Amino acid sequence: MRFIQFIKSLFGIKNETDDFMKKYLIVGLGNKGAKYDNTRHNIGFEIVDALAEKMETDFESAKLGAIAKFRFKGRIFILLKPTTYMNLSGKAVRYWLNKEKIPIENTLIICDDLSLPIGALRIKSKGGAGGHNGLQDIQDLLGTSVYPRLRFGIGNKFSKGKQTDFVLGEWKENEREMLIKRIEKASEAVLSFGTAGLNNTMNGFNGAPSTSESTKKDNKKEKS
């Protein structure tokens, strides 16, 4: 067996599983349409948009979503922005997993999280939907809750009964400076996921923004 592998490597012959294991599907969750731009619920879109710009690639319209691709350190990254609306995200995720023949452990779902402070990153290998409709639909259609996800904190400063308005509301101007830095951090986490592995990425990127990444205004409590 080792001799066969040696011969294949000598002549540059790849195993059928080589590209299969080096492909990664990175899904940014959000809602399509200009009215959802700059909203908290669309942070998944913002992160993959930033990563596409960083890697100098563009999104193109495709079935059930917009797709961008790039290579980095021998890996193939496929960025997906589902165009099915948040509540039906699972349909797009399942389609592109099957089309590109990507194992579920090589998939990273990026979404917003009300339970985390603004800009905090929490990367996990599995977990429940936590009330997130996009994650719930993905879980239902894939038939499992065991898949990597990156939750991006959006805070929870809303009054009773105003959760939907808060989630679908736009980021405040004084939050933007910090967000730019944290979106860049999330982009780095995505690349780490594909090159350094999930555990190393969790150890290196999970946590809230540092003091230097937060603005003075962000640290002040808002008046009710």
Dist. CA 193–CA 209, nearest whole Å: 19
- Give the separation between CA 41 and CA 169, rounded to whole angstroms: 8
> Which are the contacts of 55, defined by CB distance < 8 A and separation ≥ 6?
70, 72, 77
Location of structure tokens 């165009």: 83
d(CA 162, CA 132): 16
Closest by CA to 135, choosing from 115, 119, 120, is: 115
41 catalytic residue (yes or no): yes
Contact indicator for 79, 49 with CB cutoff of 8 Å: no
Pairing state between β 65-72 and 75-82:
antiparallel
Is the CB of residue 67 less than 8 Å from the CB of residue 78? yes
Marked catalytic residue, from 24, 26, 27, 41: 41
User: Counting beta carbons within 10 angstroms of the beta carbon of residue 108, is it exposed (0 to 12), middle (13 to 18) or buried (19 or more)?
Assistant: buried
Q: Catalytic residue numbers? A: 41
